[in-house]
Structure 1
Amino acid sequence: MTKHVLISGGAGFIGANFIAYLLKNTEYSITNADCLTYAASLENIQSFTSSERYRFIQYDIGSSEKESEIFDQKYDAIINFAAETHVDRSISNASPFIYTNINGTFHLLQAVLDGKADRMIQISTDEVYGSLSPYESPFTEHSALLPNNPYSASKASADLLVRSYYQTHSLPVIITRCSNNYGPMQHLEKFIPKVITHALTDKKIPLYGDGLNIRDWIFVEDHCRAIHMVLEQGKAGEVYNIGGNTEKTNRDVIEEIVKQTGKKNDMIEYVEDRKGHDRRYAINSTKIEKELGWSPSISFHEGIKRTIEWYRKRLG
């Protein structure tokens, strides 16, 4: 029997990559619900429209409008990618983050509670754990939630809401928390796309602070494969950390991109550090590796190569 899944935020970076992954590797029937904010792109999902197993409905998860259109059938699962995600934007205006990340998640949980879907996977982030020093052990699923900016606070709040529905209603929900993603279709305001496009167009590449902030990077396709495993095998009420096991300083990332694009490091321009800039994120993925058999398969060098080629073609 074909599974029917509702993917919220499927016109965004990770959501669109996940739909592409499902269409290629499964027989799922997919409804993509996205309100098409600035972070989404119709270009990301244009190639899906030829599939008989795919449909798109413009829908705001923070609103009750169009609910009858979205929930015209019962879904096997809701996978919630829909979120405001840019830290700098959350600092200047937190309101959209509260609306979408918290209120929107609440509406989807209510849909599951009302019997409109069998279960839900909440796509979260390692940023809910806060910041690590260079010598601390990576975050596990039992690490405290200590968000340091409005974006990560809104995601942590949503995670707690999801947990409460499991504890109170025994709702079959799962949370995944992933490290920093990169790959095709990511918005140009994000770090790696900005560095790549600046390098390809011979613009100065801005580097915050001393350039030594550390992130654990994962190629988006590896993340999509992990979510699929969680969807198929994950246990209700659990949290699964998903990491790339690839810690890099921001300086390291830029130098790799500069090297692969044939440019020089004199393109790098140090700029004033941003507010709420966490020093280090790192994820311990032992749980998902042992319980579900997942591990990252695409190296940082290969992932960056693929990503550069995608943006090179896009720039023409």
Structure 2
Amino acid sequence: MRLMVTGGAGFIGSHFVRAVLADRLPGLEGASVTVLDKISYASSFANLSAVAESRRLDFVPADVSDAPVVAAALRGHSAIVHFASAPAGADVHAIQVLLEAALRQDISRFIHISTDEVYGSIDTGAWTERSAVAPTTPAAAAKAGADLMALAYHRTHGLPVVVTRSSDNYGPYQDPAQTVPGLVTALLDSRTARLAGDGTRVRDWLHVADHCRGIALALLEGRAGEVYHIGGSVELADRDLATMILTELGAGRDALELLDDGKGHDHRHALDDDKIRRELGWRPRTEFASGLSATIRWYRDNPSWWRPLLP
């Protein structure tokens, strides 16, 4: 199988690529990968350094919105896994370029990677795949628009699209601007760890390795035209997450500062992932406390990767 992976030099995309090329994803052993990534603030070729010499990897440094480049790069591929994100307002155009190219070249599967942020906020319970999207932020609205465009190409043209929506991810190679690595790298650097909001915001946490296994199952066995939730089943308020990180690194509460930045934050995200469990047999395997400890150790051991990314 030849896979086109857009955004494959980003956090989740690069983990997926490394897992494919290391034959860690059942059913994708021996697959070759073309990464299409323009290398922006959230991606780096360094994320692929472990597999850079693989004969099964090609790299195309380009924007997914560049239709001629996308069309040329896509020739000979059997499936697309679309991780790449664009600024608010450009996501829908970018995915439409990719969908049109996939349609012309008779791609057998198009996996669009989305997020629980498209639903907005939920006070109790959990969203199912049938819940209405109600994004709060412009970025989430753009992602929701891309989801709807992908599904419309299935309904209108029969393109074999599958959309996955996941909980918040954590793990190695995540940009320090994000919550977990932001707290960890600040403490490792003996700086005050800053957390947006009042600490009561609740997120469901999913290890990136578990997320990528779910994506692989959706690619191989998911039903075309369907949405699958990939959840972590670990709900934590931000302040509780921060306490775990402080404890792991031996820091006191005085090392943490809460920042009420005045922006609207969804209070709680929660996904019902019963569908992917029933249909595809997916289960998260990484216990959160051990996964978080391993992630912290990775950042401790790899300052040369994250320090150049600090503002």
Residues 1-316 of structure 1 mapped to structure 2, 5 A cutoff: 3-25=1-23, 26-71=29-74, 73-84=75-86, 96-99=87-90, 101-133=91-123, 136-315=124-303
- The Cα of 1:97 is off from its aligned counterpart by 2.4
Aligned to 1:89: none
Provide the secondary structure at the position in 1 that maps to 2:257.
strand
- The Cα of 1:209 is off from its aligned counterpart by 2.7
- The CA deviation string for residues 149-186 of structure 1, in whole angstroms up to 9 with x for no partner, is 01100010001101111111111000000000010111
Which blocks of at least 5 consecutive residues in structure 1 are unaligned? 85-95
Provide the secondary structure at the position in 1 that maps to 2:194.
strand
Q: Distance in 2 between matches of 1:275 and 1:217?
A: 22
Q: Distance in 2 between matches of 1:158 and 1:69?
A: 22
- The Cα of 1:208 is off from its aligned counterpart by 2.5
After superposing the two structures, state which structure 1 stretch, 258-267 or 181-190, moved more. Answer: 258-267
- The Cα of 1:314 is off from its aligned counterpart by 1.5
Q: Distance in 2 between matches of 1:274 and 1:164?
A: 36
- The CA deviation string for residues 50-95 of structure 1, in whole angstroms up to 9 with x for no partner, is 1111111111011224235413x321110000014xxxxxxxxxxx
- The Cα of 1:315 is off from its aligned counterpart by 1.5
- The CA deviation string for residues 233-276 of structure 1, in whole angstroms up to 9 with x for no partner, is 11100100000000000001111111111211211112124412
Q: Distance in 2 between matches of 1:250 and 1:315?
A: 24
Which blocks of at least 5 consecutive residues in structure 2 are unaligned? 24-28, 305-311
Q: Distance in 1 between matches of 2:298 and 2:68?
A: 36
Provide the secondary structure at the position in 2 that maps to 1:194.
helix
Q: Distance in 2 between matches of 1:197 and 1:173?
A: 38
Please provide the CA RMSD for this pair.
Answer: 1.2
- The CA deviation string for residues 179-226 of structure 1, in whole angstroms up to 9 with x for no partner, is 000101111111111000011112111122320000000000000011
Does structure 2 retain, via aligned residues, the 8 Å contact 1:74–1:117? no
Provide the secondary structure at the position in 1 that maps to 2:22.
helix
State TM-score, norm by structure 2.
Answer: 0.93
Does structure 2 retain, via aligned residues, the 8 Å contact 1:121–1:176? yes
